[in-house]
């Protein structure tokens, strides 16, 4: 097979009809462009979610307290006080548990510096920054000693720091919660908004003991954050926690719920995947339409160039040469269309990323798929016309008007 | 003559099965054509000359009989082998020129080389293409497209294309059918010059005027050869052109 010669012939034929070649390619260009554009936008959004979830900590398990039922009204998870610090203590002894923090939450007015700010006051253990993958930018986290001594120490989020200490270093300053003075020992690294649009930096973290005995008076915690050794043992650890708590609570009915971040992530990304598949499906349809366009033009082209085919056969082209020539023309059309489409799709998503400030990911896999499938479309849609051309009789073809 | 014939037809038959009636287009033709000959195959329409032409040109196979082209038995070859024979042994010149439109003269001439069994380097293709164009006096028109050339020039490009693979045989089908008389004479001049250089030419025509430029006339009727003789009073293109110009001059002076 004289592929090089066939490439040359096909190239010349396509150049002879530039406008038609371009219009024929348009279907593939739009199809591939739409695939690449939509996939890079949706995978950008998915990536953003994944980043946010991993900022919560990937191997983190959350134990929520139980469902509170009053008459016929059921309060849902977290409404009934069932979890205690002792539960947390028990969980901390389980295998593959590397960090644990009993969590209590309340919105409180916080005063400092003549300013005040309503924020989420969290009671946590010193493991909290580790579990949440959260650094302390200035100062340090409070210690186990602080937990044991119900110390009035606090670590504050960046938003609170900005609101209460606009122009100074908060570390070493005092804030007042419920009229109690708390010493600011650290400021958490800015973390931004979470999946649900809450400002994670708008928070004050104090030892859970101080929260439970000084700020409020309670014996139950809202939930318990547990970090497993890695994400492979997460399900095992979840099961062990469930078993241990069932025994401790001596209840047949489970009055708590155990969740991990991976599940959360899967729920959120599943929606976006579905959206992405939908878009890709629409784009795939336009690819098929593009392929039909190529087949149509190739069929017209074969009829129109019957005499040319006759001439080529007369000067020595074999049937296979003619077949390959038309196949290459079709594949060249779709492949060039595919490349232009990829460039267009990537360009479009980059433009969106730039002007709309949305994250996009250049989907390398999908680019490979687009190249392969556009070449395949070329072969499939070009084959029938090319085969038809190669079956022509040279004498009839020469005398075709 | 001691040399082997370029074309050796032995009792060739061709029957077309079209519908109910079998058409017996060629009924037992035997013909030897030797290197350096310039043969006109003549006949009215329906005489079987086109069918014979197609078979000599390896575009079609005889129903019966043997055809040796340059010693190769063409009558038994398959489609691909026939294509190779056409590529290597035969140069075609058609009535309607049959050039590729929107393709330069040089690219048209280079085309047969793209189908050579042995790959020809691009620079060699170019050299041979330009050389063939030089032979027909169009060396300076290599970049022109067919629509920028006159009919005579287009036919010269077609002749150059036919010559580019150095065939054993130049096969012309009514090469002057679409041309005016002066251009026809010019084209016949090109053929005569090529024949003088030793190229074997077989030409199908129905015009006696054109046939007179050849050396041998074969006349067909009803699929059989009725006359096969050397041309008497052979026309020379140069003289004919001279005569035509004088005649035209006379017309101008008279008016």
Beta bridge partners of residue B219, listed in sequence order: B42, B227
CB contact under 8 A, A320 and B60: no
pLDDT over threshold 60, residue A188: yes
A207 conformational bin, left if phi > 0, alpha if psi -120 to 50, beta if neither: beta
Number of domains in chain A: 2
Distance from the Cα of B106 to chain A's closest Cα (Å) equals: 13
CB atoms within 10 A of CB B138: 23
Tens of pLDDT, residues B124-144: 999 999 999 999 999 999 999
Q: Are residues A185 and A292 in the same domain?
A: no
């020539």: which residue's tokens?
A: A325
pLDDT band at A1 (very low <50, low <70, confident <90, very high): very low
Q: What is the mean pLDDT of chain A?
A: 84
pLDDT at residue A293, as a whole number: 85
Q: Are residues A226 and A100 in the same domain?
A: yes
Angstrom distance (rounded) from CA B148 to CA B138: 13
């196979």: which residue's tokens?
A: B61
Residues 6+ apart with CB under 8 A from B94: A398, B158, B173, B174, B175
Residue B132 in tokens: 């063939």
Residues from chain A contacting residue B161 (CB–CB below 8 Å): 315
Comparing CB atoms, the residue among A4, A307, A395 nearest residue B60 is A395
pLDDT over threshold 90, residue A21: no
Q: Are residues A107 and A194 in the same domain?
A: yes
Beta bridge partners of residue A111, listed in sequence order: A116, A176
Q: Is the ipTM of this complex over 0.85?
A: yes
Q: How far apart are the first and last CA of chain A?
A: 30
Q: How far is CA B203 from CA A237, B1, B63, in A?
A: 94, 22, 23
Angstrom distance (rounded) from CA B106 to CA B114: 13
pLDDT over threshold 80, residue A231: no
Task: Show which of A226, A254, A282 is a domain's final residue.
Answer: A254
pLDDT over threshold 80, residue A75: no
Residues from chain B contacting residue A7 (CB–CB below 8 Å): none
Residue A96 counted as domain residue: yes
Residue A77 counted as domain residue: no
Q: Are residues A38 and A182 in the same domain?
A: no
- Residue B62 sits at the chain A interface (C-beta within 8 Å): no
DSSP string over B69-137: ETTEEGGG--HHHHHHHHHHHEEEE-TT--PPTTS-HHHHHHHHHHT-SSPPPHHHHHHHHHHHHHHTT
Tens of pLDDT, residues A269-323: 777 778 777 877 877 787 888 888 888 888 888 888 899 999 999 999 999 989 9
Residue A220 per-residue DSSP state: B
Residue A240 counted as domain residue: yes
In chain A, the residue whose alpha carbon lies closest to the alpha carbon of B58 is A314
Give me the phi and psi of A391, to 5 degrees please.
-90, -5
Give me the phi and psi of A319, to 5 degrees please.
-55, -40
User: Can you list the alpha helix ranges (DSSP code H) found in A155-260?
Assistant: 158-164, 208-210, 234-249
**Which has more pLDDT, A185 or A356?**
A185
DSSP string over A70-81: ETTEEEEETSS-
In three-state secondary structure terms, B227 is: strand
Closest alpha carbon to A155 in A195, A182, A127: A182
pLDDT over threshold 90, residue A375: no
Angstrom distance (rounded) from CA B147 to CA A61: 79
Residue A214 in tokens: 């000084």
pTM above 0.90, yes or no: no
For residue A210, give its domain range: 83-254
Q: Are residues A244 and A279 in the same domain?
A: no
Domains of chain B, each with CATH number or no CATH: 7-254 (3.40.50.300)
pLDDT at residue B164, as a whole number: 93
Comparing CB atoms, the residue among B83, B88, B100 nearest residue A311 is B100
Residue A262 counted as domain residue: no
Q: Are residues A22 and A150 in the same domain?
A: no
pLDDT band at A57 (very low <50, low <70, confident <90, very high): low
Distance from the Cα of A11 to chain B's closest Cα (Å) equals: 12
Q: Are residues A45 and A88 in the same domain?
A: no
Residues from chain B contacting residue A324 (CB–CB below 8 Å): none
pLDDT over threshold 90, residue A377: no
Q: Are residues A198 and A128 in the same domain?
A: yes
**Which has more pLDDT, A68 or B32?**
B32
Residues from chain B contacting residue A308 (CB–CB below 8 Å): 100
The pairing of beta strand A67-70 with beta strand A256-260: unpaired
Comparing CB atoms, the residue among B98, B115, B161 nearest residue A317 is B115
Task: Show which of A219, A254, A289 is a domain's final residue.
Answer: A254
Q: Are residues A235 and A180 in the same domain?
A: yes
Residue B145 in tokens: 């497209």
Angstrom distance (rounded) from CA B172 to CA B192: 13
Q: Are residues A211 and A152 in the same domain?
A: yes
Residues from chain A contacting residue B111 (CB–CB below 8 Å): 311-312, 315
Closest alpha carbon to B135 in B111, B161, B116: B161
Contact A382/A329 with Cβ under 8 angstroms?
yes
Residue A116 counted as domain residue: yes
Tens of pLDDT, residues B16-63: 888 788 889 999 999 999 999 999 999 988 888 989 999 999 999 999
Residue A98 per-residue DSSP state: E
Distance from the Cα of A15 to chain B's closest Cα (Å) equals: 9
Q: Are residues A47 and A185 in the same domain?
A: no
Residues from chain B contacting residue A1 (CB–CB below 8 Å): none
Closest alpha carbon to A385 in A264, A259, A296, A289: A296
Residues from chain A contacting residue B132 (CB–CB below 8 Å): none
Contact B162/B124 with Cβ under 8 angstroms?
no
CB contact under 8 A, A312 and B54: no
Tens of pLDDT, residues A22-43: 888 888 898 888 888 888 888 8
Task: Show which of A225, A254, A283 is a domain's final residue.
Answer: A254
CB contact under 8 A, A316 and B112: yes
Residue A73 counted as domain residue: no
Distance from the Cα of B251 to chain A's closest Cα (Å) equals: 38
Tens of pLDDT, residues A141-187: 999 999 999 999 999 999 999 989 888 889 998 999 988 999 999 99
- Residue B98 sits at the chain A interface (C-beta within 8 Å): yes
In chain A, the residue whose alpha carbon lies closest to the alpha carbon of B60 is A395
A76 conformational bin, left if phi > 0, alpha if psi -120 to 50, beta if neither: left
Q: Are residues A169 and A235 in the same domain?
A: yes
């Amino acid at each position: 097979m004289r592929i090089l010669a066939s490439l040359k012939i096909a190239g010349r034929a396509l150049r002879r009809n530039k406008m038609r070649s371009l219009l024929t390619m348009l279907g593939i260009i739009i199809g591939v462009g739409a695939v690449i554009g939509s996939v890079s936008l949706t995978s950008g959004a998915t990536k953003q979610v994944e980043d946010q979830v991993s900022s919560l900590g990937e191997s983190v398990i959350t134990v929520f307290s139980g469902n509170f039922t009053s008459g016929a009204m059921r309060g849902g998870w977290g409404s009934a006080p069932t979890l205690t610090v002792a539960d947390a203590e028990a969980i901390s002894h389980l295998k593959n548990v590397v960090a644990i923090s009993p969590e209590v939450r309340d919105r409180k007015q916080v005063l400092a510096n003549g300013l005040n700010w309503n924020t989420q006051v969290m009671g946590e253990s010193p493991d909290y920054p580790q579990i949440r993958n959260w650094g302390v930018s200035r100062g340090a986290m409070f210690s186990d000693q602080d937990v044991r001594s119900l110390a009035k120490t606090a670590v504050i989020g960046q938003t609170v720091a900005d609101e209460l200490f606009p122009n100074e270093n908060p570390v070493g300053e005092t804030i007042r919660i419920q009229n109690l003075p708390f010493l600011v020992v650290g400021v958490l690294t800015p973390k931004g908004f979470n999946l649900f649009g809450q400002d994670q930096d708008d928070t004050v973290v104090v030892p859970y003991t101080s929260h439970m005995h000084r700020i409020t008076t309670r014996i139950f915690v809202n939930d318990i954050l547990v970090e497993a050794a890695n994400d492979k043992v997460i399900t095992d650890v979840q099961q062990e926690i469930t078993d241990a708590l069932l025994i401790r609570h001596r209840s047949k009915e489970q009055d708590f719920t155990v969740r991990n971040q991976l599940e959360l992530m899967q729920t959120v990304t599943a929606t976006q995947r579905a959206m992405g598949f939908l878009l890709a499906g629409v784009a795939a349809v336009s690819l098929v339409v593009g392929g039909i366009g190529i087949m149509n033009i190739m069929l017209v082209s074969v009829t129109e160039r019957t005499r040319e085919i006759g001439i080529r056969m007369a000067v020595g082209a074999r049937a296979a040469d003619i077949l390959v020539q038309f196949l290459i023309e079709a594949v060249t059309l779709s492949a060039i269309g595919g490349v232009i489409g990829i460039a267009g799709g990537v360009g479009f998503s980059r433009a969106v990323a730039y002007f709309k400030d949305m994250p996009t990911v250049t989907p390398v896999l999908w680019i490979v798929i687009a190249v392969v499938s556009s070449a395949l479309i070329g072969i499939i849609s070009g084959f029938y016309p090319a085969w038809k051309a190669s079956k022509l009789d040279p004498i009839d073809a020469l005398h075709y008007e | 003559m001691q040399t082997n014939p370029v074309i050796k037809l032995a009792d060739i038959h061709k029957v077309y099965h079209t519908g109910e009636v079998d058409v017996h287009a060629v009924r037992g033709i035997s013909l030897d054509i030797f290197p350096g000959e310039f043969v006109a195959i003549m006949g009215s329409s329906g005489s079987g000359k086109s069918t014979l032409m197609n078979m000599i040109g390896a575009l079609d196979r005889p129903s019966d009989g043997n055809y040796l082209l340059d010693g190769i038995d063409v009558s038994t070859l398959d489609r691909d082998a026939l294509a190779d024979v056409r590529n290597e042994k035969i140069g075609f010149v058609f009535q309607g020129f049959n050039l590729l439109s929107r393709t330069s003269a040089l690219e048209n001439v280079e085309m047969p080389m793209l189908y050579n069994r042995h790959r020809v380097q691009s620079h060699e293709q170019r050299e041979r293409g330009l050389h063939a164009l030089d032979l027909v006096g169009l060396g300076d028109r290599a970049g022109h497209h067919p629509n920028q050339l006159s009919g005579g020039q287009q036919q010269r490009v077609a002749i150059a294309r036919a010559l580019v693979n150095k065939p054993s045989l130049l096969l012309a089908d009514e090469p002057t059918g679409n041309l005016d008389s002066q251009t026809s004479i010019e084209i016949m001049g090109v053929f005569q010059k090529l024949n003088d250089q030793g190229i074997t030419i077989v030409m199908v025509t129905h015009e006696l005027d054109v046939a007179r430029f050849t050396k041998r006339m074969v006349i067909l009727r009803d699929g059989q050869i009725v006359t096969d003789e050397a041309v008497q009073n052979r026309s020379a293109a140069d003289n004919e052109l001279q005569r035509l110009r004088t005649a035209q001059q006379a017309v101008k002076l008279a008016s």
